[in-house]
Amino acid sequence: MSLLAVGTLAYDDVYTPYGEVKMIEAGSCTYIAMAATHFVQPVQLVSVIGGDYNDDFLADLKKRGSDLEGVEVVKDGKSFYWAGRYHDDMMGRDTLDTQLNVLADFDPKVPESYQKAPYVMLGNLTPAVQSRVLDQMAERPKLTALDTMNFWMDNALDDLKAVLKRIDVLIINDEEARQLSGELSLLKAAAKIVEMGPRILVIKKGEHGALLFEGENLFSAPALLLPKVVDPTGAGDTFAGGMIGYLAATDDLSFENLKRAVIHGSAMASFVVEDFGTRRMQTLDQEQIDRRVQRFGQLMTVSL
């Protein structure tokens, strides 16, 4: 089962209490691909970069199972750039700078070989671009998931609401769920968000795990306590990539399997935060993933 993933291929500057990195290859599409290719290949990427993007990094993404046919290169343009600083608690962060650069005029072209992808992950980027990708699908995908952030709620709310009507799964964090719904209670927020379109909702709660809603079904996934979180950037995208990658690989949309997918997403996110940028994802192997998924299983076992 192929998976189509849209998002940014970015350069980031990241400052955390453990140090800082500058101009590292990152972005929502990168993190989604690095996680999802552990479960399903190819992951067909739709994104845009400037002539400044690192060819070796792109070659590595390809080697790991990403298809780059849908990545547009604007030779004389600059790639999307984001800078952020984390608070001491490693949960809160301030965006220091967002430069859309080539993303500002991006009109995605979905290659013909992608147009029948049964699974689609609309990673965090301009909501109008997310819609334009769906416009070009030859048939309605079996499952379309979307990730977004407060930046787009502040800057493109109408476009965001329009694309929400066309998706199956929304993956956002608790703060974003409250902003989108105007509700403080996550239960009330979930009810309002489901009315906006997605029938399945995942609300991530950082170091406190994640909630999965589908109709009357609710699942609360635990979070793994880690000895050291070095850089939380990309945790959300990695979660999404792991979750949808797992669903695409198993091709089972039952609630039980959605729960398993949330656990696989959580496991992938627990790795990416262990080092700056995508460094930890570069060395990750299947055995490590399996072991961590088992640890989640142990966290959830109780006899009552």
Contacts with ligand AMP by CB under 6 A lie at: 8, 10, 12, 26-28, 82, 98, 124-125, 149, 151, 233-237
Smallest distance from ligand AMP to CB 81, Å:
8
224 DSSP assignment: -
CB 148 within 8 A of CB 32: no
Smallest distance from ligand AMP to CB 148, Å:
8
Smallest distance from ligand AMP to CB 202, Å:
13
From the list 261, 281, 260, the residue with the least C-alpha distance to 270 is: 281
Query: Crossing angle, helix 157-164 and helix 127-135, to 10 degrees?
Result: 30
Q: Which residue is nearest to ligand AMP (CB)?
A: 236
Nearer to ligand AMP, 228 or 287 (CB): 228
Smallest distance from ligand AMP to CB 117, Å:
21
Nearer to ligand AMP, 234 or 265 (CB): 234
Nearer to ligand AMP, 26 or 289 (CB): 26
Nearer to ligand AMP, 142 or 178 (CB): 178
Residue type present at position 217: N
Maximum separation of any 2 CA atoms in the chain, in Å: 63
From the list 223, 107, 247, the residue with the least C-alpha distance to 173 is: 223
Nearer to ligand AMP, 95 or 294 (CB): 95
Smallest distance from ligand AMP to CB 152, Å:
6
- Secondary structure of the chain: what % helix, strand, coil (to 5)? 40, 25, 35
Smallest distance from ligand AMP to CB 246, Å:
18
- What three-state secondary structure class fits 214? strand
Nearer to ligand AMP, 188 or 279 (CB): 279
CB 189 within 8 A of CB 180: yes
> What is the dihedral angle through the alpha carbons of 84, 56, 104, 117, rounded to the nearest 10 degrees?
-110
